[in-house]
Amino acid sequence: MNISLIGYGKMGKTIEQIALERKHNIISRIDLDTPISTITADNTQVAIEFSQPEAAFNNIKYCLENGIPIVCGTTGWLARQAEVHEICKHNKGTFFYSSNYSLGVNIFFHINKILAKIMAKYNVYDVNIEEIHHTEKKDAPSGTAITLAQGILHHQTQKENWVNQPTKNPHDLEIISKREPDVAGTHIISYNSEEDLIQITHQAHSRKGFALGAVLAAEFVKDKKGMLGMEDLLDLE
């Protein structure tokens, strides 16, 4: 399969390694020195986008308007998600998005929803999220933490919204973000009461798990249309 990489930082280079191991061709590597206009529907079967939050929307828009299926892993742009949905629908395009491409994290998302549904019955527990990433990560909270928060808020009706700071408001879901050197990504969900503490944790050991998931998503979207995500790839719903 012919793949173009949009964003060629550490993640892009790891995706390239995995894609080549899986016998795919890397057609273009889009960075500050190479314009996105070099990729077309004629030379690219799928684009994989891991750039920066401020660039992601325009990259997605370009691909959808030019008939290029796109797999996106950039976070921090979701305020414009509704626009992307409309652009994808209007152009009958293919857009695959996940806040995290790790197979383990997406299983963790599923477990988080199940646990949130169970714990909704027991209001003696208060729930919060902690996420730890490398110091180069610009957005906070992480997209993964937001996805986890959404899974909790769907079931925990006493929580009305998430906040990215310590809070004593019982209606706020607290997310604490930490940035430390050389951390691939850790997410901890805690349900705490006076009697005990229940926690589930996902800790990434390297970027390779994220890269493999992105390449698997690129393989999955070939010949598919519409809005897709890891729940489609893994058949978890």
Q: Do residues 95 and 88 make contact, with C-beta atoms less than 8 angstroms apart?
A: yes
Inform me whether the pLDDT recorded for 26 exceeds 80. Answer: yes
Q: What domains does the chain contain, in order, with CATH numbers?
A: 2-101+208-234 (3.40.50.720), 103-203 (3.30.360.10)
Which of residues 62 and 236 earns the better pLDDT score?
A: 62
| pLDDT tens by residue, 156-184 | 888 999 999 999 999 999 999 999 998 88
Confidence (pLDDT) at 155: 94
DSSP symbols for 89-135: HHTT-EEEE-S---HHHHHHHHHHHHHHHHHTT-TT-EEEEEEEE-T
Tell me, yes or no, if the pTM score tops 0.85.
no
| pLDDT tens by residue, 194-213 | 999 999 999 988 888 889 99
| pLDDT tens by residue, 37-74 | 999 999 999 999 999 999 999 999 999 999 999 999 99
Which of residues 99 and 176 earns the better pLDDT score?
A: 176
- Residues with catalytic roles: 133, 137
The Cα–Cα gap between 141 and 161 comes to 13
Share the mean pLDDT of the chain. 93
CA distances 95 to 64, 71, 205, 233, Å, are: 8, 6, 28, 13
Q: Which pair of tokens denotes residue 93?
A: 């395009």
